[in-house]
A = this chain, B = another copy of it.
């Protein structure tokens, strides 16, 4: 492809509305343009990258035995009412009415449509398993669309759905998809981690997220140094036995200390000259009706999801000053468990502690040398904190946890019978009995994968795209395409490489060398070949590797031989 015949409107300046690297570079490289909030045009370069990702996805899905279909974007409300999601799904569902005033929505996922299709067409266990997928434009009316195509409203997604006759078969389908996803992101050239995840709004039995590792990723992930364990920080279990035994040989007597204005753990720890892991924080939580005091070691953070699940609450929030005052009689900053009036729960991190420091329920005072005997209330212990760097791996028990940042690009769910039961999607089993299909669902954000690839691979000059998903393999930079000799050599290399199936972008523009070099770096294809008059006198052209920055002189034959 010749630059002059293509459409790559690159920008010299950083767009002011781009908050993250991928959004910035996708705009600057002329890959996308905004049409409305969270709604984008894909320009040729962006679309070419999307198609390369789609082709890898399609290839691996097909190899895993999944079959491609295409469901409609506009979906009748009836189906969503059957599953119950019409009422549950909030404003993110883009609803509309047709000319006959019937309700429709633009599907953000397609569990209902595919379940409807399968219940009409599949009648017997003999026709199972079946795994149907599509690559399609979807819409989710996000409250705050941002980061370009990373969190857009209209987006391209691969969504797949498996139907099985038994739990064992369904787990096999799930495993196949797990492996297909590993293959997909590996083939895309991405550094990723698979983590256990909450199944969230879609619901169901269990689920894994595929995370592309990137400094600016929205999610925090815990990974083990020695086994394959990975989990979203919110979900990762911290084992009860991961705390050192008490180091004090005896228990001392509780005493009150004057701690003027010392509300934070850091201030308290400096003032008392003890490390934060000798202090117990007391946090007051509520669901609007009930109140609990939660104890946690000073250097850890509460995991509200774990607390919520442990208590069986529907909501959870940090109690307001007035609720705190009412239930503890204390002010925030000086709360403590001794003689507290509400229920007390504690993270495992405090279980082995002795002689610790807590708030005195009295402004400007703490208690030191506190032990559990000093606390009147009965305490329930549980895993209620976020996992942190250095924690023991909850899976192998040997490795050490590190926290990574990542971007979710894929998500697989074992759904079970959540949809098939509600929608009465049944098949006849071996014994002639009607049973609901056991389902799984499997999504990949295609645009998101492109953005995540950029978040993982860039430098200050631009993108450094992995070869398998780079729109072009090679930036063929002709320094003076008007010059007959330069043009002849350029055309020769261009034609020869194209005939070898290399995806070449030939920069034939009548622009200054500086502009072309800057665009080549910005666009970030794996290789750049530069053809200029000076080097041609020695029969040489420049061959640059965008990733490692090496730049060598090669003969024309040698350059062609590189591909």
Instruction: Give chain A's interface residues, CB within 8 Å of chain B.
Output: 5-7, 9, 33, 35-36, 39-44, 47, 50, 65, 67-76, 91-92, 94-99, 104, 106, 113, 116-117, 120-121, 130, 132, 136-137, 139, 141, 143, 153-154
A178 to B143, CA, bound (A): 45
What residues on B are CB-neighbors of A50 within 8 Å? 70
Complex: A120 Cα to B32 Cα, angstroms: 13
Who on chain B is nearest to A120 by CB? Answer: B33
Q: Which of B44, B67, B72, B154 contacts A74 (CB 8 A)?
A: B154
Sampled A-B contacts (23; CB under 8 Å): A7-B132, A33-B117, A35-B71, A35-B113, A35-B116, A35-B117, A36-B75, A41-B69, A41-B72, A41-B113, A42-B71, A47-B70, A72-B154, A73-B73, A73-B106, A73-B139, A74-B139, A74-B154, A94-B96, A95-B96, A96-B96, A99-B141, A106-B106
In the complex, which residues of chain B have a beta carbon less than 8 angstroms from the beta carbon of A35? 71-72, 75-76, 113, 116-117
CA–CA, A515 and B493, complex, Å:
56
Complex CA distance for A7 and B74, rounded to whole angstroms: 23
Q: A130-B7, A137-B137 are in contact. Are A42 and B65 (CB under 8 A)?
A: no
Q: How far is the CA of A69 from the CA of B120 in the complex (A)?
A: 36
The residues of B that contact A72 with a CB separation of less than 8 Å are 35-36, 39-41, 137, 154
In whole angstroms, what is the CA distance A7 to B118 when docked? 10
Instruction: Check A70/B99 contact, CB under 8 A, given A35-B116, A75-B35.
Output: no
How distant is A8 from chain B, measured CB to nearest CB, in Å?
A: 10
- Considering the chains assembled together, what is the distance between the CA atoms of A247 and B523 in angstroms? 78
Selected from B73, B99, B130, the residue in CB contact (under 8 A) with A137 is: B73
Select from chain B the residue with minimum beta-carbon distance to A42: B70
Having A7-B132, A94-B96, one finds 4 other A-B pairs with CB under 8 Å, namely A36-B75, A43-B69, A74-B153, A137-B137
Task: Decide: A65 near B5, CB < 8 A? Known: A41-B113, A72-B41, A76-B36.
Answer: yes
Q: Are B98 and A69 in contact (CB under 8 A)?
A: no
Quick one: given A94-B74, A141-B99, are A69 and B7 in contact (CB under 8 Å)?
A: yes
Known: A36-B76, A42-B70. A99 touches B106 (CB 8 A): no
A153 → B minimal CB distance (Å): 8
A9 proximity list for chain B (CB < 8 A)? 121
Q: How far is the CA of A40 from the CA of B70 in the complex (A)?
A: 9
Complex Cα–Cα for A113 and B34 (A): 11
Docked CA distance A92–B143 (Å):
29
> CA of A195 to CA of B194 in the docked complex: distance in angstroms?
57
CB contact under 8 A between A47 and B69, given known A96-B94, A120-B33, A141-B98: yes
A44 close to B69 (CB less than 8 A): yes
> What is the minimal beta-carbon distance from A351 to any residue of chain B, in angstroms?
46
B-side contacts of A7, CB under 8 Å: 67, 69, 121, 130, 132
C-alpha gap A511/B546 in the complex (Å): 57
Contacts of A98 in B (CB 8 A): 94, 141, 153
Which B residues are in CB contact (< 8 Å) with A141?
98-99
C-alpha gap A5/B64 in the complex (Å):
11
CB-nearest residue of chain B relative to A139?
A: B74
Q: Is the CB of B94 within 8 A of A69?
A: no
Kindly provide the distance from the CB of A55 to the nearest chain B CB, expressed in whole angstroms.
12
Task: State the Cβ distance, A533 to closest chain B Cβ, in Å.
Answer: 25
Q: Are B143 and A99 in contact (CB under 8 A)?
A: yes
> How far, in Å, is A514 (CB) from chain B's closest CB?
20
